[in-house]
Amino acid sequence: MLRFIPFKPDLDNASGGKMKTILIFFTTLFISFSIYAEKLTVYTYDSFVSEWGPGPIIEKIFEEKHNADVEFVAVDSAATLLNKVILEGDTSKADIVLGLDMNLFDLAEQSELFTSHNINDINNLINLPLKWESDKFVPYNYGYFSFVYNEANLETPPKSMDELINSTNARIVIQDPRTSTPGLGLLTWMKALYGDKAGDEWKKLNKKIISVTKGWTDAYYNFFMAGEADMVLSYTTSPAAHIMFEERYDILATTFEEGNYITIEFAGILNNSQNKDLANKFLNFMLSEEFQSVIPSTNIMYPVTNIRDLPEAFDKLNVPNFIQMDPKEINKNKEKWIDEWLNAS
Q: Could you read off the pLDDT tens digit of each residue along the chain, which spans 345 residues?
A: 332 233 334 444 444 454 444 444 444 444 444 455 599 999 999 999 999 999 999 999 999 999 999 999 999 888 889 999 999 999 999 999 999 999 999 999 999 999 999 999 999 999 999 999 999 999 999 999 999 999 999 989 999 999 999 999 999 999 999 999 999 999 999 999 999 999 999 999 999 999 999 999 999 999 999 999 999 999 999 999 999 999 999 999 999 999 999 999 999 999 999 999 999 999 999 999 999 999 999 999 999 999 999 999 999 999 999 999 999 999 999 999 999 999 998
Let me know whether 120 and 86 are in one domain. Answer: yes
Structure letter (DSSP) for residue 317 = S
pLDDT for the residue numbered 79: 84
Give the integer Cα–Cα distance in Å for 258 and 321.
8
Neighbours of 19 (CB within 10 A): 13
Torsion sign across C-alpha atoms 133, 139, 141, 144: negative
Largest CA distance in the chain: 91
Is residue 157 assigned to a domain? yes
Select from 234, 327, 278, 289 the least CA-distant residue to 47.
Answer: 234
Long-range contacts of 163-170 (CB under 8 A, 24+ apart): 164/205, 164/208, 164/254, 164/256, 165/201, 165/204, 165/205, 165/208, 166/204, 168/208, 168/231, 169/208, 170/208, 170/229, 170/230, 170/231
Neighbours of 195 (CB within 10 A): 9
Instruction: Provide the CATH number for the domain around residue 58.
Output: 3.40.190.10
**For residue range 118-166, what is the model confidence (pLDDT) as tens digits?**
999 999 999 999 999 999 999 999 999 999 999 999 989 999 999 999 9
pLDDT for the residue numbered 76: 87
Is residue 183 assigned to a domain? yes
Let me know whether 72 and 185 are in one domain. Answer: no
Inter-residue contact 169 to 229 (CB < 8 Å): no
pLDDT for the residue numbered 37: 57
Let me know whether 104 and 94 are in one domain. Answer: yes
Let me know whether 268 and 179 are in one domain. Answer: no
Backbone angles phi, psi at 270, to 5 degrees: -75, 145
Q: By residue range, what is the domain housing residue 102? A: 39-142+263-310
Helix (H) or strand (E) holding 233: strand 231-235
Is residue 25 assigned to a domain? no
Is residue 221 assigned to a domain? yes
pLDDT for the residue numbered 6: 35
**Total domains, the chain:** 2
Let me know whether 108 and 77 are in one domain. Answer: yes
Is residue 7 assigned to a domain? no
Is residue 8 assigned to a domain? no
Is residue 33 assigned to a domain? no
